[in-house]
Amino acid sequence: MSKAVRLDKFLADSGRGTRSEVKKYIQKGLVQVNDMTVKKPEQKIDPERDSVLLKGERVEAEPEFVYYLLHKPAGCVSATEDRNDRTVMDYVPSGRRGLFPVGRLDKDTEGLLLITNDGMLAHELLAPARHVEKTYFLRAEGIVTEDDRIRLEQGVDIGEEKPTLPARAEILKRTGGDGGDPGPGCTELLLSICEGKFHQVKRMMEAVGKPVIYLKRVSMGPLTLPEDLKKGECRPLTEQEVTELKQAGKK
């Protein structure tokens, strides 16, 4: 269903200038709607049906919602603004207002972060009842034993009312920590959780006595961090990814 909008708002929302700049373009006769010059900024148009030209160039309607997949680097906070630190918003195109990160990664955590202006989808993805799975790659101090792994999967006490919900833990690599190698050694693992408690992964690893040294989110629901997306880079989600994400939010 298409909606009528003011011509000046349409042009400003399409990134053609501020509201007062586009008003001037309109008043100067630089804008045509369906081949007719229109000089009233308040004129209503239908963005899906009307053809709008600015200085002879076609202006396409911007989609209402935008979705970016960011490879968050360490050292920035998951907020829209901050007095002291860089925020994740420094890494996404700034042309759209109302963008925000869906959920939080700690300042020292890297990896997949969804940035959007779609509040409804964010709400659905974050709702505890939806149980959208998030997978983290992590390096922990010490040797994570099979016993620890099973405890992580079954649920550990992180100081909340209840233990953590069932999770999946896969050991990737254990290094050192044996007789020939002094020191506690370290373990790399993938941990998949369906909750989003504050510092949850770090607290789960603390609960088994193997603190996190490095943490990176590699997937969230159907989204996977692309291998070729460097730290600090972002790209728009594909239509397919948006569709899959919306399905994940509905489950």
| Residues taking part in catalysis | 106
Told to check if 200 binds ligand URA by CB under 6 A, we report yes
Amino acid identity of residue 2, one-letter, is: S
Nearer to ligand URA, 33 or 113 (CB): 113
Nearer to ligand URA, 31 or 140 (CB): 140
CA gap 188, 125 in Å, rounded: 27
Question: Considering the complex, what minimum distance in angstroms separates the CB of residue 109 from ligand URA?
Answer: 3
Region binding ligand URA by CB under 6 A among candidate stretches 103-111, 114-122, 166-174, 178-186: 103-111
When binding is defined by CB under 6 A, the residue of 6, 130, 139, 199 that contacts ligand URA is 199
Question: Considering the complex, what minimum distance in angstroms separates the CB of residue 62 from ligand URA?
Answer: 31
Question: Considering the complex, what minimum distance in angstroms separates the CB of residue 133 from ligand URA?
Answer: 13
Residues 226-245 that bind ligand URA (CB under 6 A): none
- Tokens in use for 52? 């709008």
Is the distance from CB of 73 to CB of 232 less than 8 angstroms?
yes
When binding is defined by CB under 6 A, the residue of 109, 135, 164, 187 that contacts ligand URA is 109
CA gap 29, 23 in Å, rounded: 10
Region binding ligand URA by CB under 6 A among candidate stretches 42-50, 102-110, 172-180, 225-233: 102-110
Question: Considering the complex, what minimum distance in angstroms separates the CB of residue 114 from ligand URA?
Answer: 13
Residues 116-175 that bind ligand URA (CB under 6 A): none
Region binding ligand URA by CB under 6 A among candidate stretches 19-27, 83-91, 113-121, 195-203: 195-203
Dump the DSSP string for 56-105: TEE-PPPPS--EEEEEEPTTEESSS--SSSEEGGGGS-TTSSS-EESS--
When binding is defined by CB under 6 A, the residue of 70, 169, 201, 234 that contacts ligand URA is 201
- With b for 16 or more beta-carbon neighbours within 10 A and e for fewer, the 19-37 pattern comes to eeebbebbeeeebebeeee
Nearer to ligand URA, 134 or 149 (CB): 134
Is the distance from CB of 166 to CB of 155 less than 8 angstroms?
yes
Question: Considering the complex, what minimum distance in angstroms separates the CB of residue 151 from ligand URA?
Answer: 17
Dump the DSSP string for 184-219: --EEEEEEEES---TTHHHHHHHHTT--EEEEEEEE
Backbone φ and ψ for 171, nearest 5 degrees, come out as -75, 130
User: How many residues sit in the footprint of ligand URA (CB under 6 A)?
Assistant: 8
CA gap 105, 113 in Å, rounded: 8
Question: Considering the complex, what minimum distance in angstroms separates the CB of residue 194 from ligand URA?
Answer: 12
Is the distance from CB of 88 to CB of 115 less than 8 angstroms?
yes
Give CA 200 to chain center in angstroms: 18
Residues that bind ligand URA (CB under 6 A): 105-106, 109, 199-202, 215
